[in-house]
Amino acid sequence: MRIRLKGINRVVKKLADGSKRTYWYAWKGGPALRGEPGTPEFVASYNEAAARRVTRPDGTLLSVLRAYQGGEEFRRLADVTRTNYIGFITKIEKQFADFPLVALDDRRSRGVFMAWRDKLAVSSRRQADYAFSVLALILAWALDRGLVTTNPCERAGRFIGSHGATRFGRMMTRRGS
């Protein structure tokens, strides 16, 4: 019996020794499949991947956050960094999951994100800076890939500078007060 699986992506790679090897993926950018095509293991791994696949809500910030977490740059991060980012991404999702991507072009969107950072800073300026930096990093990643047309979070400054000093504290130190 022959089963036709939809969207399978085949990639042929030339190995260091000169030989070629074929890798199979559930879809472009999808997870690698186990086994050889036609085997029960291959079909089972495809079905597992298809069951885990979540449709992305296109046109919202949530789609960009999910795309970033599914990308290679995110997977290459150290485990502890990835865990920290997930915590901040969860905060971003709670606040801005349904934020329309077209609204990023509006100049007022920067104020919306800055107000969110200010609200977070009430409990911890350092955590507010970190959360905002993660958002800015993800939007820069999306801008590089053409998923968004602008990054309203770029060059926003920080509450906490190097060595944990606040902007005001550094300014007062320079003046000798």
pTM summary value: 0.58
- Cα angle 37-38-40, degrees, rounded to a multiple of 5: 105
The full set of domains in the chain, from first to last, is 9-52 (no CATH), 61-167 (1.10.150)
DSSP characters for 51-99?
HH-----TTBHHHHHHHHHHSHHHHHS-HHHHHHHHHHHHHHHHHHTT-
Residues 6+ apart with CB under 8 A from 29: 70
* Per-residue tens of pLDDT for the chain, all 177 residues: 566 777 788 889 999 999 999 999 988 778 899 988 888 898 889 888 887 776 555 788 999 999 999 888 999 999 999 999 999 999 999 988 889 999 888 889 989 999 999 998 889 888 888 999 999 999 999 999 888 888 887 776 666 654 444 444 444 444 444
